[in-house]
Chain A
Amino acid sequence: MRELSLHILDTLENSLEAGATRLELVIDEDSKHDLLRIRVSDNGRGMDTEMTRRVLDPFFTTRTTRHVGLGLPLFAAAAERCNGRLHIQSQPGVGTTVIAEFQHSHMDRSPLGDLPKTLMAVLLSERPVDLYYRHTVNGESFELDTAAIRRELGDVPISHPRIRSWLSEAIKEGLADIQESAT
């Protein structure tokens, strides 16, 4: 995949598939330590130790529509190409955390790409889900919690045409702000 935000979307979709109702996406870009760190956490059904270990094997999948799972092995390969790695921590019945680390300046590192589009694809999921997102660039952060937005909205869904366009603009502006103040 050409953008890390597509891997992120795929990882968040795994969480939804695992029945998660609360997702966290925390991205930290740190030039001083030349590090890009992406963390996705969920409160989905989780995995036992054996499964957590096997999940990075592309020939392992619990899906029945196809015999190979690709999502996580591809994400791991992308990190490893850039002097980084992918860690998975999971506990059955509690949830899963996936952390991908990259050397920020590595030549082979794909760009983060279009995060607002990734977030909207998740927020428009048929499954009702809340997302906490924090993105930090050299100490400047943008934060979003859809639980707070939902409380404000009452019975109006986030997928309402007016709300979804407002939200997608808000994310775009927020990210542009941190990029600007960080440079």
Chain B
Amino acid sequence: MPRLKTLEDLKKLREDAQGELKVRLETGTKIVVGMGTCGIAAGARETMHAILAELEKREIEAHVTTVGCIGMCIREPLVDIEQAGKPRITYGNVKPDMVPRLIEEHLIKGNVVQEWVVGRLPTSP
């Protein structure tokens, strides 16, 4: 029976990953994608995938997670970006083809893409 790639791989990965872990959790960028029914129907899974692919391509290390419904159906797919010390920004109707610009502007240049913003929260404590 074909099984999952060796757990040996994982041991090695774990060692590599462990060292950098602390730093990232403290200073890192957090991206959250909504995965409620409307989000899924509007393409949130593909948007999440586009984000992972873009981050990998540009070798940016960010923490990407998904959440259930956040109650803004018509704005799905919703993507939240939070960086230490900055307000949390929520972008709406984020389609995969918008992702490269979003990553470029927000993460690399540090500019909020105003026209796509649907909400913002002050810096978390």
Contacts and interface: CB of A to CB of B under 8 A. Distances in A.
Contacts of B4: 142-144, 149, 170, 174
Interface stretch (A23-31, A47-55, A119-127): A119-127
A156 B79 CA distance: 24
B54 to A, nearest CB: 12
Interface residues of B, number: 41
Contact of A170 (B1, B5, B67): B5
Interface in B23-79: 32-33, 35-37, 40-41, 44-46, 48-49, 52, 55-56, 61-69, 71, 73
A144 B11 CA distance: 17
A71 B37 contact: yes
A126 B45 contact: no
Interface residues of A, number: 49
A63 B69 contact: yes
Candidate in B45, B62, B73 with the most chain A CB atoms within 10 angstroms: B45
A1 B40 contact: yes
Interface string B88-123: 000000000000000000000000000000000000
Contacts of A164: 52, 64
Interface of B: 1-5, 7, 9-11, 13-14, 16-18, 21, 32-33, 35-37, 40-41, 44-46, 48-49, 52, 55-56, 61-69, 71, 73
**8 tightest A-B CB contacts, nearest first:** A65-B71, A177-B2, A170-B5, A152-B10, A126-B65, A156-B17, A161-B61, A71-B37
